[in-house]
Amino acid sequence: MMSKKCKYAIKALICLSENYQQGNMFTADIAKKGNIPKKFLEQILLDLKHAGFVGSHQGYRGGYYLIKAPKEINLAEVYRVFDGAIALVPCVSVNYYEKCEDCTDEVSCAIKREFAKIKEQSRLIMKEINFKTFIE
Amino acid sequence: MMSKKCKYAIKALICLSENYQQGNMFTADIAKKGNIPKKFLEQILLDLKHAGFVGSHQGYRGGYYLIKAPKEINLAEVYRVFDGAIALVPCVSVNYYEKCEDCTDEVSCAIKREFAKIKEQSRLIMKEINFKTFIE
DNA sequence: AATTAACTCTATGTATTTGGTAGAATTAAT
DNA sequence: ATTAATTCTACCAAATACATAGAGTTAATT
């Protein structure tokens, strides 16, 4: 399962995609529209900013806006920011590789072999889904 | 990511698959072979028993053995026992359906629409992988 | 019959993650 | 100067993950 944080992030990005190139949006409005706790959403939008998906204007009448075109943001990269690896085991992750603690021989590991296939399929489908597909 | 419990369960099932129709195995031996904490493995094997994958003999020289043929056990069903839904959002899960708390209109929800595709792909690939594929 | 070595079951414990809140600081248009 | 927004850091409670502990049950062997 995906974390709520990640789901909220996706909802926020959908909101901002619908408003793409039409100025910024208030956190409060995104929160209301997406039914997301405002203070929690603030954190999420900051994360999205640090990750380079959104930009912000501070001060009176400030807010958030999408930097990249909706089509140029895919689900895989957003997922990774909030929930980390797409892979189900760390040893097959490209972006978050870690050796499994219990593993004695990674080369011959059947779990690694099979879960590499799963990861690759998941990665491909999540890469195909972008925020234009969400708002259509 | 998959829980360690689920990974340990898969490792145990691989062990038992390799020993299919050759009598039972001791928890201690599976634990040693899989580098799994024995007491934790005991719980897991019990869960696998309650889920109908393995059988056991009690008492002196007792142990666990696979009930179903390795080919007849797929990854999707094992995953569900330990980590629950394959779906990334509860609203697209068949076996663990729940309405999302923050959802206002499930019918028009773009997240539901897109994540249903992801779930279906994941489900298919995980169903294809069985324990014969693991031991080959 | 006693011993031994296995599974069974329930309770407990600790560390991490998740989901969120609080509040002060900063910024900039009005 | 005021107002209304973002920024940043700290904190907190509940749930989950990852075990460990120990008593009880079972059945082959001696």
Query: Tell me: the pLDDT tens digits for A18-56?
Result: 999 999 999 999 999 999 999 999 999 999 999 999 999
Pairing mode, if any, of strands A63-66 and B54-57?
unpaired
Distance B39 CA to D23 C1' (A): 14
Nucleotide with minimal C1' distance from the CA of B55 is C7
> How many other CB atoms sit within 10 Å of the CB of residue A18?
15
Greater confidence, B136 or A133? Answer: A133
Please tell me the distance from the alpha carbon of residue A57 to that of residue B49, in angstroms, as a whole number: 58
B77 falls within a domain: no
B74 falls within a domain: no
pLDDT of residue A75: 98
Identify which of B14, B88, B125 has the shortest CB distance to residue A118.
B125
Say yes or no: B9 and B62 in one domain: yes
DSSP state of B74: B
Say yes or no: B47 and B11 in one domain: yes
Say yes or no: A108 and A57 in one domain: no
Strand C-proximal residues of B, range 25-44, CB below 7 A, are 25-28, 42-43
Distance B63 CA to C4 C1' (A): 15
Please tell me the distance from the alpha carbon of residue B22 to that of residue B16, in angstroms, as a whole number: 9
Say yes or no: B13 and B60 in one domain: yes
B71 falls within a domain: no
pLDDT of residue B136: 87
pLDDT of residue A99: 94
Say yes or no: A54 and A89 in one domain: no
**Nucleic acid strand C within 7 Å of A99 CB:** no
DSSP state of B54: E
pLDDT in tens, A64-99: 999 999 999 999 999 999 999 999 999 999 999 999
A77 falls within a domain: no
Given B37, B66, B95, the domain boundary residue is: B66
What are the DSSP E strand ranges found in B6-68? 54-57, 63-66
CATH code of the domain in which A18 resides: 1.10.10.10
Please tell me the distance from the alpha carbon of residue A35 to that of residue A90, in angstroms, as a whole number: 33
A72 falls within a domain: no
> How many other CB atoms sit within 10 Å of the CB of residue A94?
11
Does residue A125 have a pLDDT over 90? yes
Q: Of A122, A13, A133, nearest to B87 (Cα)?
A: A122
- CA of residue B100 relative to chain centroid, distance: 25
Say yes or no: B61 and B103 in one domain: no
Place of tokens 């663990």: B96
Are the C-beta atoms of residues B116 and B124 closer than 8 Å to each other?
no
Place of tokens 């043929």: B69
Q: Which whole number is the average pLDDT over B84-106?
A: 95
B73 falls within a domain: no
Q: Which two tokens stand for residue B98?
A: 């729940």
Q: Does B86 lie at the interface with A, CB-CB under 8 angstroms?
A: no
Say yes or no: B52 and B94 in one domain: no
pLDDT of residue B109: 97
pLDDT in tens, B123-132: 999 999 999 9
Distance A74 CA to D8 C1' (A): 28
A54 falls within a domain: yes
A51 falls within a domain: yes
Are the C-beta atoms of residues B58 and B97 closer than 8 Å to each other?
no
pLDDT in tens, B8-33: 999 999 999 999 999 999 999 999 99
Residues of the domain holding A113: 84-130
Say yes or no: A43 and A91 in one domain: no
Q: How many domains does chain A have?
A: 2
Identify which of B89, B125, B135 has the shortest CB distance to residue A110.
B135
pLDDT of residue B2: 98
Q: Which whole number is the average pLDDT over B73-98?
A: 97
Identify which of B36, B84, B126 has the shortest CB distance to residue A118.
B126
Does the pTM surpass 0.85? The reply is yes
User: Inter-chain contact B134–A10, Cβ cutoff 8 Å?
Assistant: no
pLDDT of residue B134: 97
Say yes or no: B50 and B91 in one domain: no
Q: Which helix (H) or strand (E) holds B60?
A: none
pLDDT in tens, B70-81: 999 999 999 999
Are the C-beta atoms of residues A93 and A66 closer than 8 Å to each other?
no
One DSSP character per residue, A10-66 reads: HHHHHHHHHTTTS--B-HHHHHHHHT--HHHHHHHHHHHHHTTSEEEE-STT-EEEE
Q: Which helix (H) or strand (E) holds A95?
A: none
User: Inter-chain contact B35–A114, Cβ cutoff 8 Å?
Assistant: no
